[in-house]
Amino acid sequence: MITVEHLKRYFKTSLGTVRAVDDISFEVNEEETFGLVGESGSGKSTTGHVIVGLYEPTAGRILYKGDDISIPLEKRPLKYKKEIQMVFQDPRSSLNPRKTVREIIEFPIKVHFKHLSYKDRENKVRELLESVGLPPEEFMGKFPRELGGGESQLVAIARALASQPSFIILDEPTSALDVSAQAKIINILQKLQKDNKLSYLFITHDLSLMRNVADKIAIMYLGKICEVAPVSRFFYNPLHPYTKMLLSSVHPLTDEEERMKPKGIKSIGEIPSPMNPPSGCRFRTRCPFSMDICSEIEPRFVESESEHIVACHLYDK
Amino acid sequence: MTLLDVKNLKVSYKTYRGILKVLDGINLRIEKGEKIGIIGESGAGKTTTVKAIMRTLPNNAIIEEGEILFNGRDLLRMDEKTFNLIRRRKFAMIFQDPTASLNPVFKVGQQLVDILKYSKEENRDYDELKEEILQAFKEVMLPDPERVFNSYPFQLSGGMRQRVCIAIALATAQELLIADEPTTNLDVTIQDQILRLIKDLVNKKNLSVILISHALGAVRSMVDRVYVMYEGTIVESAKADELFKRPKHPYTVALLRSVPRLTGGGVSQGIKGEMPDYLHPPQGCRFHPRCDYRRDICASKRPPATHIGDHCEVFCHLFSSY
């Protein structure tokens, strides 16, 4: 569905170049949820923004069903814009406060389905609101300020669905919400995925959530991917020290989960500045297993089992 | 010995739409050296409760009823001057957003020196105070304390700013530490570091703690006893272990079930409906419109406290026949 090849995105600032995304590659298959996990500053949101076209890549390619779409957004054909949509983290700032829910959802329909009449568009807005579980009569005329956090995120999801996309980027869609609201939204997202045969790129920092929604997970650290694996293998046999650190930082609710946490590793230090990342392996400054080689050579990807790849010198024999 | 005893606290907010009846008879008790947690969704009244304890409620808040006894003295009926002394010498608070709780135009060191100066009885000179702050920075494992001391808040990362706030809170707190969502804005790995830090230092100083959070796992690993709040009422309180293993109130059960687990098993449906408006809170049990087990009595009568075992209290009609 989506292939990302050696994607780089640098930002020039007055203090130097920020290497937000630095040479990452991955693939998202059809009807799959691909989880991208990392701390703030790891470049996971930038990756999403580049794919949807908000930024141009500095280097590398993005393929949608084999077609190169790494062209500037204004030149990107409408048909690709239609297929790739995004839901942002903060629904309050991603919905226009001066437009009603109806106008917000109607806008992409106007852009992508020009032939539809006023009546047809209205019916479509109704359908979309119903599909995310909001009663249309009650919500069509409301403004974003009248909505609760969970409801505004559902409107944002309905808007993303309006162009009938096949691929949606979910950038921390539930991290601003309570657990109960989160559970509802996740359920709706999973239902929509089944009904509309959608692929998701799910960006989050919540590993427990990822365990329950993703098919495949990639861990990002400081602009690089350090481990990719199918979800089940990932949690029972984490390999990269950073993955282990992330897992050991989770505060779970049951003893059963407690036992899944890797032993002998504790979270220390903070993520360094992406302006001048450490040489060699970028995680070495926080890694308890760091060796001499780690500061000299950047680790390459090795496949430990099928589909489980990790970039760490510990596994590169 | 009981340190803090909140009895039947009722707080309302006056707004242009009418009176919001937020806290409806809160009872909380903290023993000396005990750590308690308050959990619940946003809007459940957790922050209002601690604001009432700290007497920092906004002007439109009305305390309708109740008392807050600190070492036997009622904080709500104390004159401003006496209370100020208690607040600055005995209490300390860590807020959710460290950026908002530090003044952006003063250096970190200057702010902390001022806070520390007024939190202790004896007068001390600048060097002594600075020394104590640098020591506090070392305790929270801030790298290069001298540099942090001479920095403005914007020059520090979010994790470092929160460490600064923890350092000063722990340096001044003598009896009670209130932490209101101390790690919500931080990354998971930093969150873990900060929680471990708070736990260690609190144990070392034998402080009582009120931890508010909707990160339920964090609460479980930090505290001895947990209060569950819903819509301005306490619905259940129990030992942390017991509460997370065997939740009793239907709300607690549903809340815990909404949390995704590392062991997998999918995501539950969440709790149906939304938390009702405080303008017209439901009669009887405030949870009954969303409850799967509701009976006729739930809509008319407030459920009384039912004691189960030594430390467990449930406010639900399902249990009141025991």
Q: pTM for this structure?
A: 0.88
Q: Do B260 and A211 touch (CB under 8 A)?
A: yes
Q: Do A212 and B157 touch (CB under 8 A)?
A: no
Average pLDDT over residues A50-63: 90
pLDDT at site B322: 56
pLDDT at site B176: 92
Determine contact: A131 vs chain B, CB below 8 A: no
Q: What is the pLDDT of residues A160-180, one digit of tens each?
A: 999 999 999 999 898 888 888
Higher pLDDT, A105 or B189: A105
The pLDDT mean for chain A works out to 90
Tell me which chain B residues have a C-beta less than 8 angstroms from the C-beta of A211: 260-264
The pLDDT-based confidence of A152 (bands split at 50, 70, 90) is very high
pLDDT at site B98: 86
Can you give the three-state secondary structure of chain A, one letter per residue?
CEEEEEEEEEEEECCEEEEEEEEEEEEECCCCEEEEECCCCCCHHHHHHHHHCCCCCCEEEEEECCEECCCCHHHCCHHHHHHEEEECCCHHHHCCCCCCHHHHHHHHHHHHCCCCCHHHHHHHHHHHHHHCCCCHHHHCCCCHHHCCHHHHHHHHHHHHHCCCCCEEEEECCCCCCCHHHHHHHHHHHHHHHHHHCCEEEEEECCHHHHHHHCCEEEEEECCEEEEEEEHHHHHHCCCCHHHHHHHHCCCCCCHHHHHHCCCCCCCCCCCCCCCCCCCCCCCCCCCCCCCHHHHHCCCCEEEEECCEEEECHHHCC
pLDDT at site B149: 93
Q: Do B266 and A256 touch (CB under 8 A)?
A: no
Q: Do A251 and B270 touch (CB under 8 A)?
A: no
pLDDT > 70 fraction of chain A, expressed in percent and rounded: 100
pLDDT at site A39: 86
Q: What is the pLDDT of residues A176-221, one digit of tens each?
A: 888 888 999 999 999 999 999 999 999 998 889 999 999 999 999 9
pLDDT at site B61: 93
Give residues 151 to 190 of A whose Cβ lies within 8 Å of B.
178-184, 186-187, 190
| Min distance A79 CA to chain B CA atoms (Å) | 34
Q: Do A179 and B255 touch (CB under 8 A)?
A: yes
Which of A311, A204, A179, A231 minimizes the C-alpha distance to A32?
A231
Determine contact: A265 vs chain B, CB below 8 A: no
pLDDT at site B173: 81
Helix (H, G, I), strand (E, B) or coil at B178: strand
Taking 70 as the pLDDT cut, the residues of chain B under it are: 321-322
b/e code B18-28 from CB counts within 10 Å (16+ = b): eebbbbbbbbb
The pLDDT-based confidence of A306 (bands split at 50, 70, 90) is confident
